[in-house]
């Protein structure tokens, strides 16, 4: 129950900010051009409470799954009166800017949140920025069938030279059941291979059977790892001959040894090194409880100089946006499943997971969802912002308005499509939630 409450609170926090920022973009530009705004609502359905100032009713509504700004005369099914305050009375370029302002604000929000966050807290798993050294291969997996071997380094995946683990896992994830060309360095010999990732049952994502290794992100000064000269970027391969798939594997072996040296095998510069390291009984970083540890973390936490934080935020917004467009393209080509998409229930679950990891994770998740919301609203579907933009561009080329009857039919068809689409996505959410449990 406590986890559910956290998920609900995190979901309302994330969605509330994203919807407010999106609708404020429409509202602000509409007011700038003196379009009469009748309603600014967070939520849909019945009005719960609010206040009216000037021509606008500012309200909170019953269903917290979005929001809207209602402008006078914006509905193409309404008769036009010629009132200068009506949306349709304004030139197309002004209507275009009103329509594009919502998605633009979501993109700006994602960029600003990440820039500020990374100035104070830039956290990531060390393996995500590391080269793709093959340390673990799941038996009978696509990686094994493709001919990959432990000790290989993947130096190209789908045209990306020297990919990081993060880049490699993304390419595998978005290509389930499809051929993924890779280039491998085995010793000094390059080899061309082809991966065909399996399709996971829950999210229909690709899985190659390659687990990322435990890469050292940070080393605590004065503890055994520091004394043994373990370095950031070293890969933890095994402890007492048993593979290290997570830091828990290492911690378990250290507790069993009770301060006696363990045989720790690490990978450095593609060569295995074995060290005898004793654990030291010290408090853990997040509690006063003492455990045998050597003082390594798989995460990297740093503060970036502001210009670097801005560049990093820009790069992540750009790469994530391009990835979303690529996924949409694969969906249209039937290369990916709609089950990879998440709706309100999925977003609530992931919001809760991010919140449990801390505010930085929740803010980063919010930035990613903000980009998704912007791109979804830019799709050329009537009723969405992108549909209005498309109609305005068509009318600009035609140099006349599209007939009212045509607009009505198009909007009706789009409404039916969006209702069916929402039903399918919510059904997928429920199915994945049941599977998740």
High-pLDDT (> 90) share of the chain, %: 55
Torsion, Cα 353 320 21 114, to 10 degrees, reads: 70
Length of the chain: 437
Concatenate the DSSP letters of all residues of 87-132 into one string: GGGS-HHHHHHHHHHHHHHHHHHHHHHHHHHHHH-EEEEGGGGSBE
Phi, psi of 277 (to 5 degrees): -130, 125
Please report the pLDDT score of residue 426 as a whole number.
76
**CA separation for the pair 182, 188 (Å, rounded):** 16
In this structure, what are the phi and psi dihedrals at residue 278, rounded to the nearest 5 degrees? -85, 150
Token pair of 264, please? 């720790």
Sequential DSSP letters for 202-255:
TT--EE-SEEPPEE--EE-TTSHHHHTT--TT-EEEEETTEE-SSHHHHHHHHH
Would the pLDDT of 437 be above 60?
no
**What is the rounded CA–CA span in Å between residue 388 and residue 30?**
15
Q: Which CATH architecture has domain 127-211?
A: Roll (2.30)
Q: Which of 341, 339, 362 is nearest to 7 (CA)?
A: 362
How open is the CA angle 434-320-326, to the nearest 5 degrees? 80
Structure-derived torsion over alpha carbons of residues 404, 406, 409, 410, reported in degrees to the nearest 10 = -110
**CA 297, 299, 303, 306: dihedral to nearest 10 degrees?**
160
CATH hierarchy code of domain 214-284: 2.30.42.10
**pLDDT at residue 148 greater than cutoff 90:** yes
Q: Is there a catalytic annotation at residue 280?
A: no
Calpha distance 132→155 (Å, rounded)? 7
Mean pLDDT of 289-318: 93
Q: Which residues contact 155 (CB under 8 A, 6 or more apart)?
A: 132, 161, 162, 163, 183, 184, 185, 190
pLDDT surpasses 90 at 99: yes
Q: Which tokens in the block code for residue 182?
A: 């890779």
pLDDT (mean) for 316-331 = 89
Bigger pLDDT: 375 or 343? 375
What stretch(es) of the chain map to CATH 2.30.42.10?
Answer: 127-211, 214-284
CA angle at residue 203 from 202 to 209, to 5 degrees?
A: 85
CA proximity to 23, closest of 46, 36, 39: 39
Question: String of b and e for 40-52 (b: at least 16 CB within 10 Å)?
Answer: bbbbeeeeeebee
Which listed residue (23, 74, 280, 316) is catalytic? 23
Alpha-carbon span 98 to 23, nearest angstrom: 10
Res 3: pLDDT: 62
- The 10s digit of each residue's pLDDT in 2-39 is 666 888 889 889 999 999 999 999 999 999 999 999 99
Helix count and strand count (H, E) for the chain: 11, 22
pLDDT digits (tens, 9 = 90+) for 367-421: 999 999 999 999 888 888 998 899 889 888 888 888 777 877 888 888 788 888 7
pLDDT in tens, 184-231: 999 889 999 999 999 876 677 889 999 898 899 999 999 999 999 999
Q: What percent of the chain has pLDDT over 70?
A: 95
Run of H or E residues at 191:
strand 189-195
Residue 432: per-residue pLDDT:
66
What whole-number distance in Å separates Cα of residue 72 and Cα of residue 35?
A: 7
Which token pair is 125?
């798993």
């Amino acid at each position: 129950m406590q986890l559910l409450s956290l998920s609900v609170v995190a979901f309302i926090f994330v969605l509330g900010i994203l919807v407010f920022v999106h609708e404020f973009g429409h509202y602000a530009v509409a007011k700038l051009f003196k379009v009469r705004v009748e309603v600014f609502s967070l939520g849909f359905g019945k009005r719960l409470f609010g206040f009216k100032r000037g021509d606008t009713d500012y309200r909170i509504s019953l269903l917290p799954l979005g929001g809207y700004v209602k402008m006078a005369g914006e509905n193409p099914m309404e008769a036009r009166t010629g009132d200068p305050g009506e949306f349709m009375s304004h030139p197309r370029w002004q209507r275009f800017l009103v329509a594009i302002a919502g998605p633009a604000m979501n993109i700006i929000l994602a960029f600003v949140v990440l820039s500020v966050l990374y100035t104070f807290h830039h956290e990531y798993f060390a393996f995500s920025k590391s080269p793709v050294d093959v340390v673990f291969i799941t038996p009978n997996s696509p990686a094994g069938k493709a001919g990959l071997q432990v000790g290989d380094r993947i130096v190209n995946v789908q045209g990306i030279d020297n990919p990081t683990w993060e880049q490699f896992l993304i390419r595998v994830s978005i290509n389930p059941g499809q051929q993924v060309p890779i280039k491998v360095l085995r010793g000094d010999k390059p080899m061309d291979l082809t991966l065909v990732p399996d399709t996971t049952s829950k999210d229909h994502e690709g899985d190659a059977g390659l687990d990322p290794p435990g890469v050292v992100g940070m080393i605590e000064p004065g503890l055994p790892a520091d004394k043994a000269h373990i370095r950031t970027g070293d890969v933890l391969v095994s402890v007492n001959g048993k593979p290290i798939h997570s830091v828990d594997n290492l911690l378990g072996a250290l507790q069993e040894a009770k301060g006696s040296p363990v045989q720790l095998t690490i990978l450095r510069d593609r060569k295995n090194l074995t060290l005898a390291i004793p654990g030291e009984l010290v408090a853990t970083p997040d509690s006063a409880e003492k455990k045998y540890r050597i003082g390594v973390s798989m995460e990297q936490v740093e503060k970036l100089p502001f210009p670097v934080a801005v560049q990093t935020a820009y790069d992540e917004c750009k790469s994530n946006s391009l990835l979303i467009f690529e996924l949409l393209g694969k969906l249209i080509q039937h290369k990916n499943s709609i089950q990879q998409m998440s709706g309100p229930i999925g977003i609530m679950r992931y919001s809760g997971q991010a919140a449990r990891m801390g505010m930085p994770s929740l803010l980063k998740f919010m930035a990613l969802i903000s980009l998704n919301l912007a791109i979804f609203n830019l799709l050329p579907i009537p009723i969405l912002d992108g549909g209005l933009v498309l109609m305005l561009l068509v009318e600009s080329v035609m140099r006349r308005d599209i007939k009212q009857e045509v607009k009505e039919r198009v909007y009706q068809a789009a409404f039916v499509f969006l209702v069916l689409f929402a039903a399918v996505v919510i059904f997928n959410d429920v199915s994945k939630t049941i599977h998740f449990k």
